[in-house]
A = this chain, B = another copy of it.
């Protein structure tokens, strides 16, 4: 991981939920979408345990198709995402706004 001085880890499961709310995807596609945004692609040992955790909480549901597992949000995953987006925006919204204005 690149060094930003402060630790920029976190919010992986949140970002996965958000991405799956836009499109049904498998783990590889999700990793690619995260790479577009973060600049670095999460490794297999990062993304698959996260997907497993979200599955076991029933926030996402995976269907195997060939060698891939395609994930979609469950209804409770959609609810959790809404709640989390609200929290995220009240926590960090001003930082994103300050950048937009600059």
A residues at B contact (CB < 8 Å): 2, 4-18, 37-39, 54, 57, 59, 76-77, 79-81, 83-100
Contact = CB atoms under 8 A, between A and B. Distances in A.
Q: How many copies of this chain sit in the oligomeric assembly?
A: 2
27 contacts: A4-B84, A5-B17, A5-B57, A5-B59, A5-B79, A5-B80, A5-B81, A6-B11, A6-B14, A6-B54, A6-B84, A7-B13, A8-B14, A8-B88, A8-B91, A9-B10, A10-B11, A15-B91, A18-B95, A37-B94, A38-B87, A38-B91, A85-B95, A85-B98, A88-B96, A89-B95, A96-B97
A16 B87 CA distance: 17
B14 A80 contact: no
